[in-house]
Chain A
Amino acid sequence: MALYVALCYYDRDRYWDEPPETEFSPEYTEFARRATEAGVMRGGEALHPVTMSTTITVSGGRGGDVMLTDGPYAEAKEVLAGYFVLETADLDEAIGWAVQIPAAWRGKIELRPIAPHHA
């Protein structure tokens, strides 16, 4: 089995306000329910808009000067809006689930394999 994170990207100007939360949230609930029942869901959250972000840099190595910036790391037209962690046998199966996430048609989904951490 392999772990993937499905990164959900939305157009910066449309994310959060439009379409209204109430309209798309049931679709996410439905997706999460099905993925959970299938034993594929390993977690996932929605993220607040990037206007709520704080970007952090520590310069000069660990313990160095902390620099904070209001806003996202990179200004982009499309922003990360949330993610799901999926566990499937292979990429094809993961793609099969990713196409059911509403972000796939409201925005874009980037499917990335999660690197295993060595104990």
Chain B
Amino acid sequence: MDASAALVKVLREEGSRVLATLVRYLGDLPVAEDALSEATIAALEAWPASGIPDNPRAWLTVAARRKALDLLRRESARAGKETAAYRWGTERAKDEIEEVIDAVETESQLRDDMLRLIFTCCHPALSREAQVALALRTLARLEVDAIARAFLVREATMAKRLVRARSKIATARIPYVIPSDAELPDRLAAVLAVVYLIATEAHAPTGGDSVARVDLEAEAVRLARLLVELMPDEPEVLSLLALLLFTSARTPARSDAEGHVVTLANQDRDRWNREAIAEGSRWLQRAVSWSGGKAGPYQLQAHLAAAHSTATSWAETDWDRIVELYDLLGSVAANPVVALNRAVAITERDGPQYGLAALGAIVGMERSHLWHAALADNLRRLGRTVEAAEELETAAALAPTEGERRLLLSRLLGVRSEPA
């Protein structure tokens, strides 16, 4: 492997760890990010000549630490006074290299550094948008332009969002701490929500076509793996990884050869990634054994995904279990999407007139193409094709992506060809 390829690999795999160590030393995320960028440039210059160092992470940490001290010195000179971080940095400048190497080598220290960084990036004082951007840049080490493309915003917009988020962490003094036991459930929920949101964004891009997008699903799985590595006995963390493995296993079947969307009911289940499903099942089992009989929302969603993943076909799905799981999920995390999915399962279990009634009882989904499409499906099954066509027209008009719109329009054609 050549030096620049090695560097890219180290940055992707270890960049967030280097950053986490730097943040502990500097207490300042923007300075740590800048220092890591400069250390990367230094590595690009040095590695081709000197060869790839034995411990590339330690090399980068030491180089970045030196760059950070330079940055702080410049900053202090510009402001005309010593900043606290500068004083701190120079006071401890002696033995800095040994210290950094020690730090790199202490796994438990590194674990705490990573957790601090993760909880800071997902601090509730930051908007969800900012949390997601930070998770992808700071933790997953994606480039700004790639993140911007994934969220269909201009690169300058994403760069500004990141700068604003980092500067809020520094200015408002969002602390780099692992939440106390009392705070942990809420704070962990925020972290999991960010990773989950990244995964769902991969499935349901909020507009446009899915060309040239980074693989957000793979990034979400990577982040979930990182969380499992750091918090191996948190049942909801294990459940999130299981859930993401189940859903990502279906990705190959989610579109056909022409790139058209294929819904779960019609997917070619031979194209599902069985290895990912098996791994998901193992994590889910662990989650169940750690959760003491009290399933959280991610565990319930993982059970739902597992029930679909292990069914041989849509028709052979255990709809009793699916409805039961949606009822449980609705009792811990009620929202219209859960109610919609429950109604779809009711249709399969009890028939379209019951599904229609369940859909009719949902409030707040009038603007969702999924709700109108589900109504259309039940109406069609009841032979009410004129009404079904109307619902499909509404659904197509509301569809957020071209792919989904095409799917709904092809269903509309099908309904119109049936006798009214």
Which residue numbers of A lie inside 8 Å of B, CB to CB?
A: 2, 89-93, 95, 111, 113, 118
Q: Verify B171–A90 contact, CB threshold 8 A.
A: no
Q: Complex Cα distance A18/B171, Å? A: 36
- In the complex, are the beta carbons of A89 and B175 less than 8 A apart? yes
Instruction: Encode contact with A along B328-372: 1 for CB under 8 Å, 0 otherwise.
Output: 000000000000000000000000000000000000000000000
Whether A113 contacts B125 by the Cβ 8 Å rule is no
The answer on a CB contact under 8 Å between B125 and A2 is: no
Residue B49 lies at the interface, judged by CB distance under 8 Å to chain A: no
- Closest beta carbon of chain B to A74's beta carbon, Å: 23
Q: Which residue of A lies closest to B124 (CB)?
A: A95
A56 CB to nearest chain B CB (Å)? 28
We find that the number of chain B residues with CB closer than 8 angstroms to chain A is 10
Q: Given that A91-B125, A95-B125 are contacting pairs, would A113 and B172 also be in contact in the complex, using a CB cutoff of 8 Å?
A: yes
Asked if residues A90 and B125 are in contact (CB atoms below 8 Å), the reply is no
A89 vs B175: C-alpha distance when bound (angstroms): 9
**Tally of contacts, chain A with chain B, CB under 8 A:** 23
The answer, yes or no, to whether B174 is at the interface (CB within 8 Å) is: yes
Known: A93-B175, A113-B173, A118-B79. 9 other contacts (CB 8 A): A2-B173, A90-B173, A90-B175, A91-B123, A91-B174, A92-B174, A92-B177, A111-B172, A118-B81
Q: Can you list 18 A-B contacts (CB < 8 A)?
A: A2-B173, A89-B173, A89-B175, A90-B173, A90-B175, A91-B123, A91-B172, A91-B173, A91-B174, A91-B175, A92-B174, A92-B175, A93-B175, A111-B172, A113-B171, A113-B172, A113-B173, A118-B81
User: Main secondary structure on chain B at its contact with chain A?
Assistant: loop
B76 to chain A minimum Cβ distance, whole angstroms, is 13
CA distance A19 to B147 in the complex (A): 48
CB distance from B188 to the nearest CB of A (A): 15
Q: Which of B233-259 touch A at CB < 8 Å?
A: none
* Closest 3 A/B residue pairs (Cβ): A90-B175, A90-B173, A2-B173
- Mask, B163-174, CB within 8 Å of A = 1, is 000000001111
Closest to B170 in A: A113
A93 to B173, CA, bound (A): 10
Closest A residue by C-beta to B179 = A92
Q: Complex formed: what's the CA distance from A113 to B79 in Å? A: 19
Instruction: Report the minimal beta-carbon distance from B384 to chain A, rounded to whole angstroms.
Output: 46
The distance in angstroms between the C-alpha atoms of A111 and B174, with both chains bound, is 12
In angstroms, Cα B217 to Cα A60, docked, is 55
Residue from B79, B81, B171, B172 whose CB has the most chain A CB atoms within 10 Å: B172
Residues of B within 8 A of A92 (CB): 174-175, 177
Could you tell me the distance in whole angstroms from the C-beta of B261 to the nearest C-beta in chain A? 42
Q: Which residues of A contact B175 (CB under 8 A)?
A: 89-93
State in angstroms the CA–CA spacing of A113 and B167 once bound together.
12
A93 to B174, CA, bound (A): 10
A95 to B173, CA, bound (A): 11
| Measured CA separation A109–B174 after assembly (Å) | 17
| CA gap between A91 and B120 in the complex, in Å | 11
Across-interface contacts of B125 in A (CB, < 8 A): 91, 95
In the bound complex, CA of A92 to CA of B81 (Å): 27
Q: How far is the CA of A95 from the CA of B172 in the complex (A)?
A: 11
Bound form: Cα–Cα A111–B172 in Å: 9
Contacts of A95 in B (CB 8 A): 125
State in angstroms the CA–CA spacing of A90 and B174 once bound together: 6
Chain B residues with Cβ below 8 Å from A93 are 175
